[in-house]
Amino acid sequence: AQSVTQLGSHVSVSEGALVLLRCNYSSSVPPYLFWYVQYPNQGLQLLLKYTTGATLVKGINGFEAEFKKSETSFHLTKPSAHMSDAAEYFCAVILPGSYIPTFGRGTSLIVHP
C-alpha cells in the first residue's frame, strides 16, 4: 500500500517569498505523483504531475516540483508567492496500473502582504 505525508498543515509566507510545500510518499514501486490546488468551495485543480522522464516538472501558475527517488519526495516550490496562491494544496500518488489515488491531508498556504 502507498501513503502520502504532507509536512505542515499550514505554511505561511510573505508575498514575494519562496514557497515550499513538502510531500513525501511511501510506495512499493515508483508511483505517479501529482499536486493539486483547491480554492474555497471548489474542486481540485491539477498543478502538475510526474510520471516518467525528467524529474523536475513545471506546472501552472509558476509552480514546479522535483521527484527525488532517493528521498521519496515530491516537494512543490514557487520562487515568488502571490496573494492569489493562497489555497489548499494536495499531494497525491497513484501506483502504476491503478486508477485510485492516495491523497495527502493537504497543506494550507497563507500569503501575507
Q: Which stretch binds other proteins (CB under 8 A): 11-19, 28-36, 64-72, 74-82?
A: 28-36
In the block, cell 502507498 appears at 2
Q: C-beta of 16: minimal distance to other proteins in Å? A: 26
In a 13 Å sphere around the CA of 112, the CA atoms on its Cβ side amount to: 6
Provide the mask over 36-75, with x wherever binding to other proteins is found by CB under 8 A and - wherever it is not.
x----xxxxxx--x-x------------------------
* Least separation in angstroms between CB 12 and other proteins: 16
When asked if residue 96 is in the footprint of other proteins (CB under 8 A), the reply is: yes
C-alpha cell belonging to residue 72: 521519496
81 vs 93, beta carbon nearer other proteins: 93
Cell for 65?
Answer: 516540483
Nearest to 103 by CA among 23, 43, 39: 23
Q: How many helices (H) and strands (E) does the chain have?
A: 0, 12
* Rounded-to-integer distance, Cα 111 and Cα 17, Å: 9
Chain residues in the site for other proteins (CB under 8 A): 9, 32, 34, 36, 41-46, 49, 51, 88, 90, 94, 96-101, 103, 105-106, 108
